[in-house]
A and B are shown apart, each in its own frame.
Chain A
Amino acid sequence: FLDDIEKFSNTEWIQMQEDYSVD
């Protein structure tokens, strides 16, 4: 995750937030 953290787009962050909220 940390190796890729600079590469995530705004859309990917939003998706991660949604997935995290569902968890």
Chain B
Amino acid sequence: VFIEDPEDEWIEKLNEELGGDQMHKHIDMVLHRFPAPMKSIYDLAVNQRFSVQEISKIKGISVEEVESYLVRTRKHLLTSFKGRYP
């Protein structure tokens, strides 16, 4: 979700500095507070590697809605990282 976006080298640098374990702990904690659909769609996309089209079928929502959830989740996670690691 993060590394594929070339605009945010900051996240890659943070990943190098913190290590994946620390980043995953933060992501787990933040996701824990997210609404259930956001958590679920993030999990399907990132952890279980389903495509947007597959998630759309699984969830019974449009591809655009899935993409919207992922964009919002990414945005909120980035915001949380910027607050946590200024």
Residues of A within 8 A of B (CB): 1-2, 5-6, 8-10, 12-14, 16-17, 20-21
13 intermolecular pairs with C-beta atoms under 8 Å apart: A2-B34, A5-B79, A6-B83, A8-B83, A10-B84, A10-B86, A12-B83, A13-B26, A13-B80, A17-B25, A17-B84, A20-B29, A20-B32
B33 located at the interface, meaning its Cβ lies under 8 Å from any Cβ of chain A in the complex: yes
Do A5 and B32 touch (CB < 8 A)? no
The residues of B with any CB-CB pair to A shorter than 8 Å are: 25-26, 28-29, 32-35, 76, 79-80, 83-86
Q: Is the CB of A5 within 8 A of B26?
A: no
A5 to nearest B CB, angstroms? Answer: 5
Which among A5, A14, A20, A21 is the interface contact of B80 at CB below 8 angstroms? A5
Knowing A1-B34, A2-B34, A2-B76, say if A17 contacts B29 (CB, 8 Å). Answer: yes
